[in-house]
Amino acid sequence: MTAAGDFDGVRQGSFQGLDALIIETPRATAALSMFGGQLLSFIPAGSAHDVLWVSPAAAPPPTPIRGGVPLCWPYFAREGQPAGVPSHGYARTARWRLVAGRSTESGDTELELAPEGLEHLPLTAGMTVRVGNTLELGLRTHNPGGATVTMTEAFHNYFRVADVGAVRVEGLGGLSYLDKFDDLRSHEQQGDWTLPKDTARSDRVYPGAGGRYRLVDPGLRRTIEVSVRGGHSAVVWNPGADVASGMPDIGAHWREFLCVEAANAGPDIVEIPAGADHTLWQTISVSTLA
């Protein structure tokens, strides 16, 4: 790989007032924040709409950025952690640095990143970002120690939608899910996911999910497919109006997004033996809805 800046298509810039690397390829553009190593934007060539949603009221760092693809690492929510730790781990508020980058023969751009200031943790992390016809993200975890370490994690994808009440998510029908709005009771998903009519909110963890999910959005006339390797859970989240009213960076904007997350969460805990590695990969692709 060549050093960052040795190839065209990557420059310093801003996105919605946030400092970011702007990535421009023949097939797509993207924006990447070094705060949290967080993808903020992905727009395939010819598309009128961003695939990702970032709150128009997102607070500047060091507050976690609401939207894009936050990295939940080395734990999801506060699973298995004491109450005093930051929600969703340390990666999403760490400063990340660009280690290397390259332009591929097909014209895609591939970047390698690493976090700073997390040396106190028993695990190390690195991330690959590949922008082209699809968006690929790989979150690598290494255990440099002498004993097995457990972890949970997620790509907390915020997908832009025309109206969350009108979309559906395929690939979850028949699965059991843990409902965080129902004291983590287990239920069975009946057919495709749609926003519940009675509560108009969702916070569901699907353990042992299949790794392939399709968000169908009639309002924007497109589908967003998420293909996952190394991740056994799916999480589908939207806070709904009541909860969002108490979240200043969401508020009235709650209908504009749906989180469909690639994860290892709930009972899907990852055990990494001494000296071993684990990688969570996701590929996001977009197509026009016929």
Residues 79-116 have pLDDT tens digits of: 989 888 999 999 999 999 999 999 988 889 999 999 99
Print the domain residue range for 134: 10-170+209-229+265-288
CA–CA distance, 208 with 76 (Å, rounded to integer): 16
Q: Is residue 114 part of a domain?
A: yes
Q: Is residue 256 part of a domain?
A: no
Domain CATH for 221: 2.70.98.10
Confidence at residue 2, expressed as pLDDT on a 0 to 100 scale: 41
- Tens-level pLDDT at each residue, the chain (290 residues): 344 444 678 999 999 999 999 999 999 999 999 999 999 999 999 999 999 999 999 999 999 999 999 999 999 999 989 888 999 999 999 999 999 999 988 889 999 999 999 999 999 999 999 999 999 999 999 999 999 999 999 999 999 999 999 999 999 999 999 999 999 999 999 999 999 999 999 999 999 999 999 999 999 999 999 999 999 999 999 999 999 999 999 999 999 999 999 999 999 999 999 999 999 999 999 999 98
For the record, the structure tokens of 79 come out as 């699973």
For the record, the structure tokens of 94 come out as 């760490």
Q: Which of 49, 67, 70, 47 is nearest to 58 (CA)?
A: 67
pTM of the predicted model as reported, rounded to 2 decimal places: 0.96
Q: What are phi and psi of 90, to 5 degrees?
A: -100, -20
Say which residue the tokens 């690959």 belong to. Answer: 128
Q: Is residue 204 part of a domain?
A: no
* Number of domains observed in the structure of the chain: 1
Q: Is residue 43 part of a domain?
A: yes
Confidence at residue 7, expressed as pLDDT on a 0 to 100 scale: 63
Please give the DSSP secondary-structure letter assigned to residue 54.
Answer: B
For the record, the structure tokens of 40 come out as 């903020």
Q: Is residue 270 part of a domain?
A: yes
Q: Which of 130, 54, 133 is nearest to 282 (CA)?
A: 130
